């Protein structure tokens, strides 16, 4: 995927992003898979409502933390690549 960024009114920089959308899609797929697995496991596991809600909350917190870490890594890689290409 190519993207044109204007550095100044008379200068354009062509950025070639390789795998950026694939990495984001992969991370989203993992997060959705974890959520679906957690939901199915909790539906079939006999437990009190309070216990089930606590387990679900913990798993959702884990998924949220994982997604934040992946997004931060992707952002750092993008900034590094931008600095490398711009100079």
- Rounded to two decimals, the pTM is 0.46
The string of pLDDT tens digits covering residues 8-40 is: 556 655 555 555 556 677 877 888 888 888 778
Buried b (16+ CB within 10 A) or exposed e, 49-76: eeeeeeeeeebeeebeeeeeebeeeeee
How far apart (Å, rounded) are the C-alpha atoms in residues 77 and 41? 35
Q: What is the pLDDT of residue 13?
A: 53
- Tell me the C-alpha to C-alpha distance, in Å, between residue 70 and each of 3, 25, 77, 84: 22, 11, 11, 21
Q: What is the pLDDT of residue 21?
A: 59
Q: What is the pLDDT of residue 26?
A: 80
The string of pLDDT tens digits covering residues 72-83 is: 888 899 899 888
Query: What mean pLDDT, rounded, does the chain reach?
Result: 75
What does the domain layout of the chain look like in residue ranges? 27-86
pLDDT at residue 6 greater than cutoff 80: no
């Amino acid at each position: 995927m190519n993207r044109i960024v204007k550095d100044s009114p008379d200068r354009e920089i062509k950025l070639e992003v390789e795998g950026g959308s694939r990495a984001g899609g992969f991370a989203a797929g993992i997060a959705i898979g974890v959520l679906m697995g957690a939901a199915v496991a909790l539906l079939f596991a006999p437990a009190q409502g309070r216990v089930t809600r606590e387990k679900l909350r913990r798993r959702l917190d884990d998924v949220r933390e994982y997604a934040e870490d992946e997004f931060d890594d992707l952002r750092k890689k993008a900034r590094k690549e931008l600095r490398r290409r711009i100079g």
